[in-house]
Structure 1
Amino acid sequence: MPLDQQKPLSERLLTLTAQLREQIPLAEAIDLYVTDAGDAQLTIAAPLAVNRNPHGTVFAGSAVSVAILAAWSLLDGRLRSMEGEAQLVLQRNTMAYLRPIDGPFAATARLQDESAWLRFQSMLQRKGRARIVMTSVIMCGEAEAAVFEGEFVALRAMA
């Protein structure tokens, strides 16, 4: 569904959006909002207006920020359901821009492989540190516009 025809956001999605904007000030500056959140998928959308560059397309820094936040938010939500606290950070990433992003856009992060999550979870519980690779795909209208891949590291809080 095109971003300008989205249904009203549920209370849960509004709460997730508010939490992101409170925790990460950049999230408010780029006017992002969570449009879908499940156990294995999370989508964050943002408008062109506050994210544009001088060429009338989305500034690359805004696009990668939305992609990172989609992947980070999905992992963070899953980590919160585990016993004990963990800090989640991005260690490295790449972003392939496939076409200009010339309108509202959305990044969807998906947990592609449940077995990778189980290995990540097990390593975090055993060693207090774990890594996982996540991807986010940015759509603009009906077209795939960019693909993000990032390696995230979780560190268990020390007692």
Structure 2
Amino acid sequence: MKSDELQRYIEENIPLVAKAGFVIEESTCERVSVHGPFPENRNHHGSVFGGSISVISVLAGWLLVREIMEKENPQARIVISSQTLEYLRPLRKDFIAEAVKPDISDFGPFLKRLDAAGKARLEVQVLVREEEGSEPCARFQGTFHVAVD
């Protein structure tokens, strides 16, 4: 799916994405980057609302797993099954959630479980920063459940 098609698909199927103003900047099987605007996601303390950080992190992680599965099985169903989120410091301006392909040298065991059982789990880390390359403001670890028929 092209970038603009993917953005439209996400906004139509997850209305919160459009309301929060989240924009997919990059989405490949190696890296996902999602931009979040401060004004739409601020709280009464003048920082980004923790719920917005959670949502953008789940979105970036889900998109990464989706991109990975696009090559293996585009019909795979992907849902978040668990998450932890560490808030390291307040975000006070626009922000970026970045997910990078897990450092798994061989996806063989994951794909074998998926093939044999029709389901498997994949761990993904997402870092949320004020700008690309800056120190993380939040660290997300999510487990995504992947199922195929």
**Pick aligned residue for 1:117 from 85, 107, 118:** 107
**CA 1:121–1:45 in structure 2 vs 1: closer, same or farther (change >3 Å)?**
same
**CA 1:112–1:83 in structure 2 vs 1: closer, same or farther (change >3 Å)?**
closer
1:96 corresponds in structure 2 to 86
Unaligned 5+ residue runs, structure 2? Answer: none
Deviation at 1:116, TM superposition (A): 5.8
CA distance, structure 1, for counterparts of residue 124 and residue 74 of structure 2: 22
Q: Which letter does structure 1 place at the counterpart of 2:148?
A: R
Range moving further from structure 2, 47-56 or 33-42: 33-42
CA distance, structure 2, for counterparts of residue 136 and residue 146 of structure 1: 8
1:60 corresponds in structure 2 to 50
Aligned to 2:45, what secondary structure does the other structure show? coil
Kindly indicate whether the alpha-carbon contact (under 8 Å) linking 1:14 and 1:33 is maintained by their aligned counterparts in 2: no
**Pick aligned residue for 1:31 from 3, 10, 21:** 21
Deviation at 1:48, TM superposition (A): 0.6
Kindly indicate whether the alpha-carbon contact (under 8 Å) linking 1:137 and 1:148 is maintained by their aligned counterparts in 2: yes
Identical pairs, percent: 27
Q: Which letter does structure 2 place at the counterpart of 1:119?
A: P
CA distance, structure 2, for counterparts of residue 59 and residue 89 of structure 1: 23
CA distance, structure 2, for counterparts of residue 145 and residue 57 of structure 1: 11
Q: Does 1:143 align with 2:143?
A: no
1:85 corresponds in structure 2 to 75
2:66 corresponds in structure 1 to 76
What's the C-alpha RMSD, in Å, of the aligned pairs? 1.7
TM-score of the superposition, structure 2-length normalised?
A: 0.90
**Pick aligned residue for 1:153 from 141, 145, 149:** 145
Aligned to 2:67, what secondary structure does the other structure show? helix
CA distance, structure 2, for counterparts of residue 126 and residue 84 of structure 1: 17
CA distance, structure 2, for counterparts of residue 34 and residue 121 of structure 1: 27
Range moving further from structure 2, 33-42 or 50-59: 33-42
**Pick aligned residue for 2:11 from 13, 21, 30:** 21
CA distance, structure 1, for counterparts of residue 110 and residue 76 of structure 2: 12
1:107 corresponds in structure 2 to 97
Aligned residue pairs, count: 147
Aligned to 2:63, what secondary structure does the other structure show? helix
Aligned to 2:21, what secondary structure does the other structure show? coil
TM-score of the superposition, structure 1-length normalised?
A: 0.85
1:6 corresponds in structure 2 to none
Unaligned 5+ residue runs, structure 1? Answer: 1-11
